[in-house]
Amino acid sequence: MYMDYTYLIYVMPAILLSMIAQAMVKSRFASYNRVLSKKSITGAQAAALLLRANNIMDVKIAHISGSLTDNYNPGTKVLNLSDSTYSSTSIAAIGVAAHETGHAIQHKVGYGPLVLRSMLVPVANIGSRFGPMLAILGIIFASVAQAESFIPICQLITDIGLLMFGGSVLFYLVTLPVEFNASRRAMKILKDTGTLDSSELNGVKKVLWAAAMTYVASALTAIGSLMRLLVITGRKNNRR
């Protein structure tokens, strides 16, 4: 029975790291979600306060369902806060709301990596879905091709697939500075506005750091998957 060890070598470690990071986020959030802010403000109120402090008046704060599904949509200028954040007065909720506010600030000042990530969204969506499929199909077609003249076409299909998937990997890489910068902005504005004190900020830092590790794990998974495809396609080419 044949086993492809490239998956175990290049992809599995990143997937395990991702699982650990996800568990850490849930654990940290649950822990600091029990610590109520001394000023008893909700996540939505904190977001509104921080937006005003940064002279951002055209961003709407909306309530969405779910837990930790918070996000900022630069296209519609809507800061979406989940059930676990919107009405909660915990320092974890305020930290998450501040992080999303950090994205709104990035949008206002035209933060380069955020602009680039927005441009890469369609590339990432198409590349992650169809890139690996095309790369593998190119290999399969080449292995069953009867005419030698068909081989370059198969190689082109594989190369296009790799290039498309490479675009999605770039999206994950660009996401890292966007998320880390949003967390740094969150910590700064929470401190500058006096929304949280130093002890509360320490808890927020732990929650945001754990969340950042999930993005690191996602990037590593994407990189590992691309490296695996490159190894597989290179190995198949050498066998022809």
**Which residue type occupies 55?**
N
Distance CA 236, CA 228 (A): 12
Q: What is the DSSP string of 101-166?
A: HHHHHHHHHT-HHHHHHHHHHHHHHHHHHHHHHHHHHHHHHHHH-SSGGGHHHHHHHHHHHHHHHH
Radius of gyration of the chain (CA): 22
Distance CA 155, CA 137 (A): 10
User: Which of these, 87, 21, 49, lies nearest to 195 by C-alpha position?
Assistant: 49
Q: Is 148 tagged catalytic?
A: no
Distance CA 27, CA 86 (A): 19
Element (H, E) at 218: helix 198-239
Q: Which of 100, 148, 179, 200 is catalytic?
A: 100
DSSP label at 194? T
Edge to edge, the sheet with strand 71-73 lists 60-63, 78-81, 71-73
CB 95 within 8 A of CB 41: no
Name the residues annotated as catalytic.
100
